[in-house]
A = this chain, B = another copy of it.
Amino acid sequence: MQLSGVRALTFDVFGTTLDWRGTIIREGERLGTAKGIQVDWKAFADRWAQKYVEARTGNGRWVPLDQILHKAGNEVLDEFRVAGLTKAERENWCSLWSRLEPWPDVLPGLKRLRSRYLLAVLSNANVALSIALARHANLPWDQILGIDDVQVYKPSPRVYCLALRRLGLEGHEVIMVAAHLFDLEGAKALGFKTAFVKREGEDTGDPTKAGYVDWIANDFHDLAQQLSR
């Protein structure tokens, strides 16, 4: 796939840029030690993510993702019978998705990519949550492309279409970067170029068999290397 003419990269965030599962497990273990409770935090993290996927695919009124995640956090605490938290501790836990940590290659990789390309967020998170995450992890985004205005989620074509309009670019000028094949397939339908990044615990599909995947990278270092040619 030709790199000439590519001006911007749009990034998925949860799983691709930020290690949501690892952050929840680490913070959960810290909480467990402090409170003397034993929980399967990996199962907790997966259940939390599952609830948010269910909620966002529901047909109800539009609710920003930070609110969905907060409510789901409370419910999963009850499901896993995590007791003995103060109100402040519970509140702090439920907002954990606004304090996720990046994968270790992300900051140096983005720094390298930014010298050549415009970098934008294209996440299913609402803008306020994406800003909080960028501030927390010090992510050098040039712009956050929120879905708040279209009120639908990726892979709806409306999301990718809005991104192109906001950037003032054509699909062939933008590479969608994600660790999930459905996201790249959605972007390709609008003419984006696509880069799959391998992340442990994310998409288990085979990107080499997906005709809509243009680049496959082991991490953001590798991505920066491949996109610097």
**Number of A interface residues in the complex (CB < 8 A):** 18
Provide the main secondary structure of the chain A interface.
Answer: mixed
Each complex incorporates copies of this chain amounting to 2
Looking at the assembled complex, report how far the CB atom of A85 sits from the nearest CB atom of chain B, in whole angstroms. Answer: 26
Mask, A157-186, CB within 8 Å of B = 1, is 000000001111000000000000000000
List 10 A-B pairs, minimum CB-CB distance, nearest first.
A128-B168, A131-B142, A143-B144, A131-B143, A127-B166, A118-B131, A135-B142, A127-B143, A134-B142, A128-B167
A168 touching B135 in the complex, CB below 8 Å, given contacts A143-B143, A144-B143, A149-B149: no
Closest partner residue, chain B, to A146 (CB atom) = B166
Question: Quick check: is A64 within 8 A (CB to CB) of the other chain?
Answer: yes
Residues on B with beta carbons closer than 8 Å to the beta carbon of A143: 127, 131, 143-144
